[in-house]
Structure 1
Amino acid sequence: MMKAWEWMLAGVLLSLGWDASAATERSAVLILGKAAGYQQVEYLPEGQVKVHFEYNDRGRGPVLDRTYTVNANGTVAASEGQGVDYLKASVQERYTVQGTSHTWKNAAEEGQRDLKGPAFYLSLHGVPEETVLLVRAALKAPGQRLTLLPSGEVQVQAIGTHTVQGTAGKRKVRLYAMTGIDLVPAYVWLDEDQRFFASGSSWNLLVREGFENTRDQLLTLQEAEEGRLAQARAKQLTTKLDRPLAITHARVFDPGTLAVEEDQTVLVEQGRITAVGPSAKLPVPKGARTLEAQGRFLMPGLWDMHAHINRGADGPLAIAAGITTVRDLANDEQALTSLITGIETGRDIGPRVIKAGFMDGRSPYSGPTKVFVDDEAEARAAIDHYAANGFEQIKVYSSTKPELVPVIARLAHAKGLRVSGHVPAFMTARQFIEAGADELQHINFLALNFLFDRVQDTRTPARFIAVGENAASLELGSPAVRDFVTLLRERNVVVDPTVSIFDDMFHNHPGHWNEGASTVLARVPPTWQRWLRSGAGGLPDVPKRPELYRDSFLRLVEFVGLLHRSGVRIVAGTDNVSGLFLPRELELYVAAGIPPKEVLRIATLGNAEVMKRDKTFGRVLPGYTADLILIEGDPTLLMSDVRKVRHVVRGDRLYESAALFRSMGITP
């Protein structure tokens, strides 16, 4: 006979959809389909859940242990976690609830909130299984809505049920959408017992062990739902320019001359600029749609030259921010092709995408790619494939053999492709350029050129830490630096500095966030605000030596200014969420001493010149593609005004920036 407490425990387990006979579950982390880590979940008596989660991404990646105590209604009564985050900073976190009092503490937060009714605390450094607990709890709540702690609300909706066949057998799985924890719905797959089955994207997927072969099927089904939402959003927020458009009474900035012309009218037809002239002299064609600028600032659309664009929020965010072209420097080829097709056919909203083919050598620290090259035959096959499939550039990565770089450069140049990338480990930036590279990604690799005696294996976060610890003492006026900069200029090497990512890396620490995050903090939803305020993304030693890391960051900014003044071409890219952080990249160029008008030229016509599109993109002239943005204010005087985009013309499509931002829960 079962005792009373045993009956009660059984009731709790059944209410949570658990089968006590299956006490342990493991799921595999797949980065572009390659095993990179795992999650292990143990179900213990008295409603406890014990989770271990870890993965390795080029020497980075979290290692987390969490324990949850779960109530009968699915909410969490207590949780505790420890380990390290993605950049190996220490994690200690605790949450408890007593009656209506919820308290939590982690490295960045210490809070308390009194709340009646069910609520769910989202860990600052949670594990995937926490999403399962959240879904279960929300499904039991009224309207499937649940208050989140510290703030926010989530709503969960079941999308559809499917049967998948894995090597471990057949399972019936259901897709759930969670609205309120990200800019667009987030998804998780659960099995018939409401156990974790899969979550993620084509880039990074966690899936139940024994069912790794269902990856493509799950992603296809999930992307169909994402595509349905994207198409509905595009239909609602895109104005198709099926007749001429007249933008009247605008202040027009042309990056080709750096001049701002007052009170201009720009005519657009079939996606191209047909006329530009004084509003008093240039008549508006009969039947044309009119956009009254009222003296606002009109300029070409911005470019982000270092993007990794994904399905969901990235495309609409870019357009909302006035970014009409991005260069994607590493992605899953199939997913990227599908996304581009959706955008170009009008089923999604997003910028034009220039594709770069990504490759790396095989090592324990290989980059996230399916394309590995360790000899000339593999390099030739990869380059031939990329050239035949619309890629315009080759990006090599840190595990590429140094002796293979000149071979890659020769093969790529023979196909008309540019060569860029990380400087491979055990190679200096000078050697990379002399081997034939046309471009360098990330300003830290330029600094590492002068730190080769301290760090040579740059496949791990050492490539960040060494720069943070030593860049402050780099003498930019030294003969060695001057000689290197001269080499860059004489070889017409392009630098893609992405200096804004070091704003995070060299400044953030628990409870302290950098100035760049402050510019978007109040605009984003509560979960994003919390993440930005947490100071996540900083290197582990920043709290110990914040002044040193700050000074190293400032030296990197100065290096960007030196490059520009020395005649080295730079391109503007973020390696981040384009629609939120490109303005910060441009502000840092101004901080480096580059005049605002020249910064705007870099971010438009200059980028187009590098990609050989300057005859059709990047200017406000008849015959040019009508990628245009209308701004409140004047970024030639105050670069922060570039955030105040009001309307975007992307060829034959017109968008209202505020409506796009609001569709993702962001204040314009």
Structure 2
Amino acid sequence: MMKKAWALGPWVLAGLCLSLATSAGAATERSTVLLLGNVAGRQQVEYLPEGEVRVHYEFNDRGRGPVLDSTFRVSANGTLVSAESRGVDYLKAPVDERYSATGASHHWKSSAGEVRREVSGPVFYLSLESPPEEAVLLIRAALRAPGQRMALLPSGEAQVAAVGSLTVKSKAGSRRVRLYSLSGLDLAPSYVWLDEQQRFFASVSSWMKLVREGFEDTLEQLDGYQEAEQRRLARARARALTTKLDRPLAITHARVFDPGTLTVEEDQTVLVTQGRISAVGPSAKLVVPRDARILDAQGRFLMPGLWDMHVHITGGADGPLALAGGVTTVRDLANEDRTLTRLIQEIEAGHDIGPRVLKAGFMDGRSPYSGPTRVFVDNEEEARTAIDNYAARGYEQIKIYSSIKPELVPTLVRLAHAKGLRLSGHVPAFMTARQFVEAGADELQHINFLALNFLFDRVQDTRTPARFIAVGEHAATLDLGSPEVRAFLALLRERGVVVDPTVSIFDDMFHDQPGHWNAGLSPILGRLPPTLQRRLGSGSGGLPDVAKQPERYRDSFLRLVELVGLLHRSGVRIVSGTDNLSGLFLPRELELYVAAGIPPREVLRIATLGNAEVMKRDKEYGRVLPGYVADLILVDGDPTLLISDLRKVRHVIRGDRLYESAALFRSVGIAP
């Protein structure tokens, strides 16, 4: 589970601040990092005289996670005089970044390069890699600035707003705390709780929580208050951007693609009534009801909505962004149950904007590298309890993770199938993909685990980033025509095993290096907010050794792409998933399928009807036929000829709701 590490990094996205300092005297504050309730790291901040702040920050996420030592010097107005960070980033690449300001002259150097710039007026430098405390210093500076707005270097602007106050009690005492929002750094506001002295108290999200030591038992109360504020914003956005289809909708003069036949019919009218397709036919012949709303397609391409079969959806920007990109259904493969259930309820009630969500229950074994979950399974009794609970809550699939004991897999398969649930996952450590399939797994997540099946002599413990590094170093030498590969693909085909490649995540991981970013990002980079453009364009999303062996990692990535094409041609079903932000990255995933040799029309089928078939929804979703649910997208261009035209979605119909893609993109700060 990548959890969107491509953006500002989990240490910024998940908790924009820790330990707000006073300006006078020396003090030390400690905060705890928790991933889904499990202690994963810490930050220690020393506040020294003359505005100096020293920070140590680290957390462990399945062998990934930053370790940073930083020193900041803060001026009287809250902006930085200097900043320095050293250590490793989330993927363990080296960090050595420095910034200094003298009057209007600003100088910084990082893995993205070296820059000198003259800027008049207050401005705050935002590091490429930094501990959360830097964002706290930014909040302090913005609170002092006119309008609580602060210009940023290299570019952008941050704004801070007070949301509301709350009194919380714990064994460590009682505190009056205030919630602040910080906008301008990401696609949605981030939040931080400060006490009455404007010192850090907590930062909460569904995945990561950060809290002042001794106040862990206040997190549930804070989470509830913050969630209410986020719901308020989401409901206002839904009212503004959703057109409720309370009367028939006639989409006229469209070129209609049917994934069932792989054909395109010219000049068609599609009639939508109460969320379903009620009629399809030539525009010259089909009778449109007099009270119908008319959407003139003007010859544009109409097709079923896309599916992303590998997401970890949260609130905020995720839902609107998915629909903006034409994704009307997603499969969530690991999440916090309460948060996911509430989000689905809000979306289905029309109080939030988002795709339909299918749920897969996530579980792992106990180890130092366990995935972020509260559901741990080390024996049959725990397995039975977990699977029974997921089945009772409407989950359709079980996803297991890398620390599950190999000998427990057949039991998990038996228990899941007894409840009518599919079972998929990472291939557990010390187990081959062949053994996983022979134990009864229905699906494999991530194309690297297929490659690892043939690298078992090199790496068996795949709980750490070794599962990426070994593939990057050795996949280029795999002989895809070998008897071993052919026999394994035959096994997948005979067993009806599905593969969820998520090959696009390796596009960044195997190509990015300091100062050189993956060219596959070109179509979206310029559309993003400035801070995200900078991080993506820095090349910081790659594995540590890419810069040392760029040709080897490039060739290994190409071999993974070739393997995707070989799977399809061998009769193995693949499903389209991103393990990333659907609305931005699903087109790239599908472009790579075309690069693998799969014809665009077949790729469109995979991303619509094919995915619906896997989830047994193909009698209601994935085609443009009477009786089917009206999940439809209207596209400029023709993705049967150029798959990248899927980035040109114009309108999205999600059942009885109509959206304009451009408006959805703008609502999360992205240019259409």
TM-score range relative to shorter protein: over 0.9
Is 1:36 the counterpart of 2:45 in the alignment?
Answer: no
Give how far 1:516 is off: 2.1
- 1:133-172 CA-to-partner distances (Å, cap 9, x unmatched) read 1111001111111100000011110111111123321111
2:263 alignment partner, one of 259, 263, 287: 259
Q: Please list the CA deviations of residues 28-65 of structure 1 after superposition, one character each: whole Å capped at 9, or x if unmatched.
A: 00000110000101001111011110000001000001
What corresponds to 2:197 in structure 1? 193
For residues 54-89 of structure 1, give each alpha carbon's deviation from its aligned partner in whole angstroms, at most 9, with x where no partner exists: 000001000001111011111111111100000100
Give the stretch that moved more between structures: 212-221 or 148-157. Answer: 212-221
How far apart in 1 are the matches of 2:462 and 2:151? Answer: 44
**2:249 partner letter:** L
* Matched residue type, 1:368: P
Name the counterpart of 2:347. 343
Tell me which of 546, 562, 586 is aligned to 1:558: 562
Q: Aligned residue for 1:480?
A: 484
Query: How much identity, in percent, do the aligned residues show?
Result: 77
Verify the 8 A CA contact 2:444 2:500 in the aligned structure 1: yes
Aligned-pair CA distance for 1:22: 6.6
Q: Can you list the C-alpha shifts for 1:518-567, whole angstroms capped at 9, x where unaligned?
A: 12101111011001101122000000000000000000000000000000
5+ long unaligned stretches in structure 2: 1-19
Name the residue aligned to 2:629: 625
The answer as to 2:364 corresponding to 1:360 is: yes
* Paired position in structure 1 for 2:389: 385
Task: State how 1:449-528 maps to structure 2 within 5 Å.
Answer: 449-528=453-532
The structure 2 residue matched to 1:413, chosen from 404, 417, 433, is 417
Counterpart amino acid of 1:581?
A: F
- Is this contact kept in 2: 1:17–1:193, CA < 8 A? no
Partner residue, 1:437: 441
Choose the corresponding residue for 1:313, options 308, 313, 317: 317
Greater relative contact order, per chain length (Cα 8 Å cut-off, separation 6+): 2
What value does the CA root-mean-square deviation take over the aligned residues? 0.9
Letter in 2 for 1:36: A
Distance in 2 between residues matched to 1:370 and 1:454, nearest whole Å: 31
1:641 aligns with 2:631: no
* 3-state DSSP of counterpart to 2:50: coil
Question: 1:82 aligned to 2:86?
Answer: yes
Please state if 1:136 is matched with 2:140.
yes
The question of whether the paired residues in 2 share the 8 Å contact of 1:173 and 1:192 is answered with yes
How far apart in 2 are the matches of 1:218 and 1:469? 45
Deviations 1:314-348 (Å, cap 9, x if unpaired)? 00000000000000000011110111011000110
Query: What are the superposed Cα offsets for residues 81-135 of structure 1, whole Å, 9 maximum, x if unpaired?
Result: 1000001000001011001011111111311221111110111112111111111
- Distance of 2:164 and 2:199 partners within structure 1: 16
Counterpart AA for 2:496: N
The CA distance in 2 between the partners of 1:200 and 1:114, in whole Å, is 37
Per the alignment, residue 212 of structure 1 pairs with 216
CA distance in 2, matches of 1:534, 1:217: 38
Unpaired segments ≥5 residues, structure 1? 1-15
Aligned equivalents of 2:268, 2:499: Cα separation in 1: 35
The number of residues matched between the two structures is 653
Q: 1:300 to 1:229 in 2, by over 3 A?
A: same
Equivalent residue, structure 1, for 2:602: 598
Find the aligned partners of 1:17 and 1:605 in 2 and give their Cα distance: 54
Q: Secondary structure at the match of 2:552?
A: helix
Given the alignment of the two structures, is residue 533 of structure 1 paired with residue 528 of structure 2, yes or no?
Answer: no
Write the distance in 2 (CA, Å) between the matches of 1:92 and 1:451. 34
Report the AA paired with residue 115 of structure 2: G
Q: Quote the offset at 1:420 in angstroms.
A: 0.1
Contact 1:315–1:349 under 8 Å retained in 2: yes
One-letter code aligned to 2:658: L
Supply the distance in 2 between the matched residues of 1:104 and 1:649 (Cα, whole angstroms): 47
- Mean CA deviation greater in 366-375 or 200-209: 200-209
What amino acid maps onto 1:98 in structure 2?
A: T
Work out whether 1:373 is the aligned partner of 2:377: yes
1:660 maps to 664
The CA distance in 2 between the partners of 1:130 and 1:401, in whole Å, is 40
Structure 1 outlier segments of 4+, above 6 Å: none
Shift of 1:17: 6.6
The CA deviation at 1:367 is 0.4
- Could you give the per-residue CA deviations for residues 270-304 of structure 1, whole angstroms, max 9, x where no partner exists? 00000000000001111100000000000000000
Tell me how far 1:644 sits from its aligned partner: 0.2
Aligned counterpart, 1:582 = 586
Q: 1:149 aligns with which of 140, 149, 153?
A: 153
Distance 1:62 1:17, change over 3 A: closer
The aligned counterpart of 1:8 is none
1:380-412: CA deviation from partner (whole Å, max 9, x where unpaired) = 000000000000000000000000000000000
Cα distance in 2 for residues equivalent to 1:20 and 1:172: 22
Q: Is the 8 A contact 2:329 2:356 kept in 1?
A: yes
Q: Which residue type is aligned with residue 365 of structure 2?
A: G
Segment drifting more, 630-639 vs 194-203: 194-203
Q: For 1:437, what is the secondary structure of its paired residue? A: coil
Select which of 296, 300, 303 maps to 2:300: 296
CA distance in 1: counterparts of 2:202 and 2:128, whole angstroms: 21
Separation in 2, partners of 1:642, 1:440: 26
Letter in 1 for 2:351: R
Matched-pair contact (CA < 8 Å) for 1:129–1:196: no
Separation in 2 of the partners of 1:68 and 1:173? 26
CA distance in structure 2 between the partners assigned to 1:140 and 1:621 by the alignment: 59
SS of residue paired to 1:242: coil
Any residues of structure 2 matched to 1:257-296 within 5 Å, and which?
257-296=261-300
Question: Secondary structure, in 3 states, of the residue corresponding to 2:514?
Answer: coil
Deviation sequence 1:256-281 (CA, Å, 0-9, x none): 00000000000001000000000000
User: Aligned to 1:424, what secondary structure does the other structure show?
Assistant: coil
Which residue type is aligned with residue 78 of structure 1? Answer: S
Which residue in the other structure is 1:222 paired with?
226
Letter in 1 for 2:371: G
- Residue matched to 1:5: none
Q: Is the CA contact (8 Å cut-off) linking 1:132 and 1:195 kept in structure 2?
A: no
Question: Is the alpha carbon distance of 1:302 and 1:594 closer, same or farther for their aligned partners in structure 2, counting shifts above 3 Å?
Answer: same
Distance across 2 between alignment mates of 1:215 and 1:537: 31
Summarize deviations over 1:410-431 as a string: whole Å, max 9, x none: 0000000000000000000000
- Distance in 1 of aligned mates of 2:188 and 2:590: 26
Shift of 1:578: 0.7
Cα distance in 1 for residues equivalent to 2:145 and 2:480? 60
What displacement does 1:175 show? 0.9
Distance 1:483 1:17 in 2: 61
- SS of alignment partner, residue 46 of structure 1: helix
More displaced 10-residue stretch of structure 1: 214-223 or 442-451: 214-223
Quick one: which amino acid aligns to residue 266 of structure 2?
Answer: E
Q: Secondary structure at the match of 1:377?
A: helix
Letter in 2 for 1:456: Q
Determine helix, strand or coil for the equivalent of 1:413: helix
1:239-258 deviations in Å (ceiling 9; x for gaps): 00000000000000000000
Contact in 1 for aligned 2:206/2:314 (Cα 8 Å): no
User: TM-score when scaled to structure 1?
Assistant: 0.97
The alignment status of 1:183 with 2:187, answered yes or no, reads yes
